[in-house]
């Protein structure tokens, strides 16, 4: 999240700067905490030399000359974009169980984001769980015993000490999906990375697993990693299940945060109208060009009733490294929810990780 302070009195220039900043942040999908400051005492405290001025993250102040407003705003936007790209990978939350799916997810994230600090959590329901391999130590609280056991379990699985990028290991209690969502929100993580098991019991398939519940309800980006997924080094080859109107500055901004410039993306649009497929494909290409899509790409439009199967079939054909969905559209994600496609992607994508980027809110 970017903290923005706008100093000044509510003149026409002030209101213009305010409206452009709001519009640009919304367009880019960047969360912000926007504060207006109109007190001379606060100007002095913050060492404001002239108004209007904009302060970013209490770190840098931009003075905005009246004869150069648009250029100054462009400079501010560029700075903000660079800052968000720097900070995206700083905080990754990795919820873990004592199972191979969690270990594989951890290995994937370590390979995928080798310079990003990780926090590992295990959600303890408060009930005795025979799957938790706890070492019984007299007079040791259960949470401490669980933490020690988890650290030992990770070390054994990785065949060494904890990697330096694992900065924190914590045990929390509660309902797993709810606890993960709350912990992520409270600690302001930029990404939640979850392992997906190969098989789920009937209860999980009916009510939803932890992974699917987190994916559907998180405002933080989620990466669900199947048990057999292995990170493919660059160039990445993600497949993006998008509507043509979703290819915009926001999706481009998100993509540049997580993918290398050598990435080649395949854009898949699933339709129920085969007659218009060529026209829809051309519209997608035009929109990609218009939005200045920053990667190489190919486009296909397919008619299919089963969107899950269409996405997975195309991903397999293209040897996709990851699947990306932006669940904010008025068509695909409604189908994802109504037909349980997001759940089915996790259950059926046995080797391909699934990214989910929800619509961000302006003031989180």
Listed range (101-110, 143-152, 201-210, 287-296) with the worst mean pLDDT: 201-210
In a domain, 234, yes or no: no
Here the CATH number for the domain that contains residue 122 is 3.40.50.620
Residues 214 and 281 in one domain: no
pLDDT band at 142 (very low <50, low <70, confident <90, very high): confident
- Is 12 part of a structural domain of the chain? yes
Predicted local confidence at residue 274, as pLDDT: 66
> Which of 24-33, 203-212, 303-312, 326-335 is most confident?
303-312
Has residue 47 been placed in a domain?
Answer: yes
pLDDT digits (tens, 9 = 90+) for 76-109: 988 887 676 555 556 899 999 998 989 999 999 9
- Domain of 169, in residue numbers: 92-226
pLDDT of 207 > 80? The answer is no
Domain boundary among 32, 60, 87: 87
Answer whether 0.85 is exceeded by the pTM: no
Asked whether residue 232 is domain-assigned, the answer is no
User: How would residue 239 be classed by pLDDT, with cut points 50, 70 and 90?
Assistant: confident
The answer to whether position 363 is within a domain reads no
Total domains, the chain: 3
pLDDT at 15 over 70: yes
Least confident of 159-163, 186-190, 308-312, 329-333: 329-333
Q: Are residues 83 and 103 in the same domain?
A: no
Is residue 221 located within the same domain as residue 335? no
One domain, residues 139 and 206: yes
Q: Give the CA radius of gyration of the chain.
A: 23
**pLDDT digits over 274-290, tens only?**
666 777 888 888 888 88
Output the pLDDT for position 82: 67
pLDDT at 78: 80
Contacts of 64 (CB under 8 A, 6+ apart): 13, 17, 52, 53, 54, 72, 73
Tell which wins on pLDDT, 309 or 139. Answer: 309
Residue 37: CATH number of its domain: 3.40.30.10
Q: Is the pLDDT reported for residue 228 higher than 70?
A: yes
Long-range contacts of 130-135 (CB under 8 A, 24+ apart): 131/97, 131/98, 131/99, 132/98, 133/98
Most confident of 60-69, 118-127, 260-269: 60-69
**Does some domain include residue 361?**
no
Decide if pLDDT at 364 tops 50. Answer: no
User: Which of 87, 112, 139 lies at the terminal end of a domain, its last residue?
Assistant: 87
67 and 107 part of one domain: no
Please give the pLDDT value at position 157: 95
Label the pairing between strands 53-56 and 32-37. Answer: unpaired
177-194: average pLDDT: 87
> For residue 160, what is the DSSP state?
S
Let me know whether 128 and 210 are in one domain. Answer: yes
Same-domain pairing of 205 and 142: yes
Same domain, 52 and 121: no
Statement to judge: residues 111 and 217 lie in one domain: yes
Question: Same domain, yes or no, for 349 and 263?
Answer: yes
Distance CA 96, CA 73 (A): 43
- Give the mean pLDDT of the chain: 80
pLDDT digits (tens, 9 = 90+) for 130-141: 455 554 555 557
- Does residue 127 lie in a domain region? yes
* pLDDT above 70 for 148: yes
Query: Within a domain: residue 55?
Result: yes
**Greater pLDDT, 44 or 198:** 44
Please state the rounded mean pLDDT for residues 125-154: 70
Reported confidence tier of residue 203, pLDDT bands at 50, 70, 90: very low
Spacing of C-alpha 96 from chain mean position:
18
Ranked by mean pLDDT, the top range of 298-307, 340-349, 352-361 is 298-307
Q: How far apart are CA 176 and CA 213, in angstroms?
A: 9
140 and 27 share one domain: no
Verify that 117 and 191 share a domain, yes or no. yes
Q: Which of 87, 116, 140 is the last residue of a domain?
A: 87
């Amino acid at each position: 999240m970017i903290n923005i302070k706008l100093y000044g009195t509510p003149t026409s220039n002030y209101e213009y700067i305010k409206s452009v900043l709001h519009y640009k942040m919304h367009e880019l999908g960047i969360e912000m905490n926007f504060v207006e400051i109109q007190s001379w005492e606060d100007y002095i405290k913050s060492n404001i030399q002239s108004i209007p001025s904009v302060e970013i993250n209490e770190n840098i102040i931009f003075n905005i000359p009246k004869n150069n407003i648009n250029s100054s705003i462009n400079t501010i936007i560029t700075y903000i974009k660079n800052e968000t790209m720097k900070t995206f990978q700083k905080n990754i939350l990795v919820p873990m169980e004592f199972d191979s799916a969690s270990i594989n997810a951890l290995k994937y994230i370590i390979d995928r984001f080798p310079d990003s600090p990780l926090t590992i959590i295990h959600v303890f329901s408060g009930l005795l769980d025979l799957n938790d391999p706890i070492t019984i130590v007299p007079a040791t609280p259960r949470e401490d015993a669980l933490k020690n056991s988890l650290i030992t379990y990770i070390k054994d699985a990785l065949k060494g000490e904890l990697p330096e990028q694992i900065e924190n290991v914590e045990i929390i209690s509660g309902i797993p999906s709810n606890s993960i969502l709350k912990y992520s929100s409270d600690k302001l993580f930029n990404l939640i990375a979850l392992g997906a098991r190969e098989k789920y019991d009937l209860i999980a398939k009916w009510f939803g697993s932890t992974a699917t519940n987190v994916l559907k309800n998180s405002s933080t980006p989620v990466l669900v990693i199947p048990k057999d997924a292995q990170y493919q080094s660059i160039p990445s080859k993600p497949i993006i299940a998008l509507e043509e109107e979703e290819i915009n500055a926001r999706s481009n901004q998100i993509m540049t945060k997580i993918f290398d410039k050598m990435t080649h993306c395949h854009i898949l649009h699933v339709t129920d109208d085969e007659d218009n497929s060529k026209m829809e494909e051309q519209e997608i290409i035009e929109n990609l060009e218009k939005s200045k899509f920053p990667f190489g790409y190919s486009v296909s439009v397919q008619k299919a009733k089963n969107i899950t199967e269409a996405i997975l079939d195309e991903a397999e054909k293209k040897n996709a490294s990851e699947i990306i969905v932006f669940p904010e559209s008025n068509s695909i994600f409604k189908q994802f929810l109504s037909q349980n496609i997001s759940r089915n992607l996790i259950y059926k994508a046995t080797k391909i990780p699934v990214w989910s980027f929800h619509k961000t809110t302006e003031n989180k």
